[in-house]
Structure formats: structure tokens, C-alpha cells
Structure 1
Amino acid sequence: MRKFMLFLSVFTLLLLTACGNNDSKDSISTIKLADAGWDSIRFHNGIAQIILEEGYGYDTEIVNGTSSATLQALQQGDLHVYTEVWSDNLGDAYTKAIDSGDIESVSTNFDDNSQGLYVPTYVIKGDPERNIEAVAPDLKTVKDLEMYPELFQDPENKDKGRIIGAPSSWIVSKHLDEKLTTYGLNEKFTYLAPGSDSSIVADLASAYKKGEPWVGYYWSPTWVTATYDLTLLEDEPFDQEAWDKDKSGEFPPNDVYVSVHKDLKTQAPEVVEFFSHYETSSALTEDALKYMGENEASPEDTAKWFMKENEELWTSWVPEDVAKKVKAAL
């Protein structure tokens, strides 16, 4: 009898839990958004959360993970929205997710971005105000780095220079490592793939404050490229065949999409409609990230600031009644 009553209690609990959960293939109460580890996606998530919660009445949840892990979670339906999918960086994984029909890219957040190896501009041009002399006036391209390994000396291997790469968990890190091998730079430089974006920024900030040479991976739009005077090293014009062969040349054009899981169209069609109109630009995103960095603001506070500054933009993404609720909350 005790075993039967225990079974009945467990069964009843499971039944109540199932009945109390409003999420199903056809309805949803909580929208889960991907945080793949960088500031701009957190900023865009901040905007999305304010609109979803205040305008549409949904709960939201942020789920952290690497870019590949969060894409997989989106494909499986464990996540619902990815506000900043750097499609080419994800490569075949993104293409397969789209081709399978498990996810859909509903809008282009922005497509005027750049990425690659940067140096502080004072390395090339100097900075008279800081009494910094130009130490590599002829440095223009990635391949030109072969002339300057001693300038970017690796503190742990002084026979080589050091290039700070993308975080080790990002797919672009493998691309960059292969590119440097293709150019033969691996013979003169150590490629260091840090564990996180913040590690890159800390290393850059330290060198920049001292006026020392530094070379490493970064991308735009970011608060880093908005705050520091950096120069993106040139490369050969992008060629798909060359890129596919050995990652030589410029990084591919990178459309940055807002993507959703396939079931969200039936679970919350009005949410998909909202995201289908979501569009910013690198300049707008970088302005927000500069505000975030200068004011040490959270993504949510940055989103609020941005929405107050750009009301005409975001109100065009949603119906008038939704915009009214959000404006009242702001």
C-alpha cells in the first residue's frame, strides 16, 4: 500500500507539473535567449528582454554558452532566440542548422561589420600627445607582421612574437590559427588563444595604457573598437575558393542574423513578427557599446539608454500598442 501511495503521489506531482507548464509545441510562457559570450549580443538581448517582457508580457531567460553550444541548443529547441548569429564564423554548423529547417533567420541585425588582426594605431603612426613614436610605419597588412616578430615579443618565448587570437572556444579561432600557418607566421609568432573575450581586452588595455606594441584579434562593432584607436591590418580581398582552401585573404562578409527555433512561429507568432523587423547597424551597436564601456553600464541599462535615444527606430519594429507599453515602462 505504501508503495502504491508513493507511486500515486509521484504520479500526481508529475501530472500537476505538466499541467502547470504552459510551454508546449504550440504555446510558450518564457522566451529563452542565447548569450554566446560577448557584449553586443548581451546588449541586443537587453533590448529584446525589455520589449518581450514589457510589451508582450512574456518572461525571459538568458542562457550562457559558447557560440557553437548555443547554436546547437537553438537547433534542439532548448533556446528560442539568438539575437546575434555571426553566420560565417559558425560556418557549416549554421548552414546545416538552416538547411535542416530546425532554425530560421528572420532578419539581419547588421551586416556592416569587420574582424581580423588589429594593432593600436600608434604602432604605425605614433602619438605625439603621448610622446609615442611610430615603431612600425611600414606595417599595413597581416603578412607584413613577418618583419616585426621582435616588436610584438612573446614574454614567454622571446625568440618569437606573440599574436593574441580569438577565444579558444570560438570557431573563428581555428580559422585564424590556420590563416597564420598559411602565411608562415607560425614560424615567427606564437598564436595565443585566450579563454575569453575579457582576456583579450585586458591584454590590449594593459599594452595600450603603457603605449606598447600589441597585435591581436578583434571585431567591430564593439566598445573596444569604439574606445581605442585601433587599425585593422589589411589582407588580400576575400575570395571564397582561397578561404575554403587555407583561410587566406580577408575574413568572409559576415551577415549577423536574428535567428529563432522553428517552433517559435507557432508558439509565439507575434514574437517572431517583432524579430523579423529587428535591424540595427554596426555604428548604432558600437555607440551603445561605447556607452556601456564608458559608464560601466549593464546590458539592461545600456538597452534602456539606447531605446530612449533611438525611439523612432525600435518603435518601428512593433505594433503601436506594444510600443506604448514599452515606452511607459521605460
Structure 2
Amino acid sequence: MKKFKHIISGISIVILIFIVVGCGDNVSSDKNEPIVFADAGWDSLRFHNEVAGIIIEAGYGYDTEQRTGSSTAVWVGIEEGDIDVHMEVWKDNLVDIYESGIENGDFQKVSLNFDDNYQGFYVPTYVIEGDPERGIEPIAPDLKYITDLPKYKDLFEDPEDSEKGRIIGAISGWTIDEILYEAYEQYGLEDTFNYSRPGSEAAINASLTEAYEKGEPWVGYNYEPNWIIGMYDMTQLIEKEDGPLAEIATQDIEIVVTKSLPDRAPKVTDFLGNYQTSSDIANEALAYIQETDSSAYDAAVKFLQENESIWTEWVPEKVAKKVKEEIEQVEL
């Protein structure tokens, strides 16, 4: 009911303005309603929400909000028009939802945010190349492909089973975990490795952090953009040819808007259509958040302050000027 009353109030205001100033003026109630961003729970999405939110508020005069929910709840919100923008759509992880929504016209793609991402199995780069600054010698210089892992089972020894190596998988219940386990089986790794499922993403990163800081071997799942990839030098293990990971290893990560936004806020939609970044940008921002205990908003301000050559290409000059004036006042 609250939202309904708000809409009625907005309509009433428009009617009053038309009565006072006449129908010839260009009057709109668009900015009475905030532009709502999806927050499906991961930090790179929140970073992009903040970057876009700062530009929209300072440059275009709209209020913005972030609405938190599970992936399912978020997509219901987008389909029903309660959420306006999703800044980081991993469409290959939710093919049915994405394709049906596009086909039905519930939402539309406006931009490719980034396409240089990866998800799959990683090792610390020092395992392959060494790290002279830390006094670490290469211990698996020929490790490149997932199919190379059996040669190095002793290097990645499972502390609970010395006969096999241990590979860290994803969290049980995640779609990616099923895909990773399929690859683990298809490549016959069960003969030489145990597949370990941590209880949370934090547990995956804790395992990697402990090994990395000690300079020890580690192999397991991760993805980018992610703070840990921004902080640590990691190398992906790839497939020699198309296999179970081919469809999800790299993806086009898109920006999607609900069907009503282009009519309600056409200039904002144009801006979102120009928005394009990279995994490296998000990795750096997430590492900054982790290292300094900062917020996604702080990371967004830092990005905007230090990368004018990138984001000013997304907006008209007069919008860029307003955003610059806004962020110049923020001290980090």
C-alpha cells in the first residue's frame, strides 16, 4: 500500500504542475521514484551499484536504492518492475530465468559490463613460476591444464588422506559446484584427488589465504572479479579443449534493466548502456575494500576519483561535471 500511495501522490503532483504551468512545459514525475538496484549478495555487484548510483544521483538527479534478496527474489523483483537495474548478470549461471525474461520482455540487456572474467580451478602463480621476492622456487613449472593435475597429486597432498591430493571445490548447492564436480569426474581426478566442499565462500578464501601467506601449494575453485584475485597473483588451470567448464569459464557479464526503465528514465538508461568495465577494475576495488576495511561506496568513490578517463566516456560532459563536483567533496 505504501508504494501505491506514493505513486498516487506523484500523479497528483504532476496534475497540479500541469494546471499551474500549462501543458506546454516538459514536466515529468520520473524523479519522484528512486531507481532501485539489485543486491544479490556479492561485493562486486555492490561496487558497481555504488558507481552507477553516485553517477545517477549526482549527474541525473534521481535517488537510488539497493534492494537485497536471494537470486530468485531479485529476478522476481526485476520481472515485476520492483527492481530496476541488475549491474552484474551472470546469465550462463541462470540460463532459464534469463532467456525466458528476455523472450517475455520482462527485462532487457542494455550493456556488456565486462567479459574478461574467469571461474574455475586456480593455483597460486608461484606454484608454476616461483616468486623470487619471497624465495619461492617453481614447484610445478609444467602445470597448465586441469589434466596435468594427476602428475602433481603429491604436491597438493590432502592432509586427511596422504594417498591423494586435495582440490577445493565450491559450496554444495551452488550451480557451479555441480559443474566443477562434473569436470572432476570427467577428467578422472577422483583416482588421484579428493574433492573437498567447504561450507562457505569465506572458508574457500581462508584456505587459500593460509596457503598463500605460507607460500604453500593450493588448488581449488575461485572466480573473478573477487577480492582475493585482486590481492593475490593466481593462475587459472584451463581445459585443453571444450569440456564441462567451457560454457562457464568465461562469460559475458551484462547489465539488465526492467522493461519500464527506458521510458521512465531514458537518459539514465542511455548511461547504463555506455557503462563498461573489466574484471581488473572490480578486482582492484574489492582488494581495496578487503585491505582497508572500506565500504563499496568508498571503493566506488576511489574509482571515480582516479579513473576519470574511463567513466567520463559513459556520460555527457555536463553530467560528468556534476559528478566530479560531488566526488571532490568526499575524503577517503
TM-score by length of 2: 0.81
Gaps of 5+ in 2: 12-28, 328-332
1:175 aligns with 2:179: yes
1:42/1:149 CA distance change after superposition, 3 Å: same
1:58 aligns with 2:44: no
Alignment of 1:119-138 (within 5 A): 119-138=123-142
Q: Is the 8 A contact 1:66 1:169 kept in 2?
A: no
Equivalent position to 2:210, from 193, 206, 209: 206
User: 1:105: Cα distance to partner?
Assistant: 0.8
Equivalent position to 1:151, from 143, 147, 155: 155
Match of 2:311 in 1: 314
Q: Is the 8 A contact 1:46 1:299 kept in 2?
A: yes
- Measured on the aligned residues, the alpha-carbon RMSD in Å equals 2.8
1:117 aligns with 2:103: no
Q: Is the 8 A contact 1:68 1:90 kept in 2?
A: no
Match of 1:278 in 2: 275
1:190 aligns with 2:194: yes
User: 1:159: Cα distance to partner?
Assistant: 4.5
Match of 2:299 in 1: 302
1:19 aligns with 2:5: yes
Q: Secondary structure at the match of 1:316?
A: coil
Identity across matched positions, percent: 49
1:157-193 CA distance string (max 9 Å, x none): 5554322223445432222122212112234333334
1:144/1:71 CA distance change after superposition, 3 Å: farther
Match of 1:9 in 2: none
Q: Secondary structure at the match of 1:42?
A: helix
Q: Secondary structure at the match of 1:32?
A: strand
Q: Distance in 1 between matches of 2:292 and 2:322?
A: 27
Gaps of 5+ in 1: 1-13
Q: Distance in 1 between matches of 2:251 and 2:129?
A: 29
Match of 1:10 in 2: none
1:329/1:76 CA distance change after superposition, 3 Å: same
Q: Secondary structure at the match of 1:218?
A: strand
Match of 2:169 in 1: 165
User: 1:142: Cα distance to partner?
Assistant: 0.7
1:86-141 CA distance string (max 9 Å, x none): 22233333222222221111011111222221101222233344343433333221
Query: Residue type of the partner of 2:295?
Result: S
Match of 2:259 in 1: 262
1:248-297 CA distance string (max 9 Å, x none): 55745411111111122233223212211111223333333343344332
Q: Secondary structure at the match of 2:277?
A: coil
Q: Distance in 2 between matches of 1:17 and 1:113?
A: 38
Q: Secondary structure at the match of 2:89?
A: strand
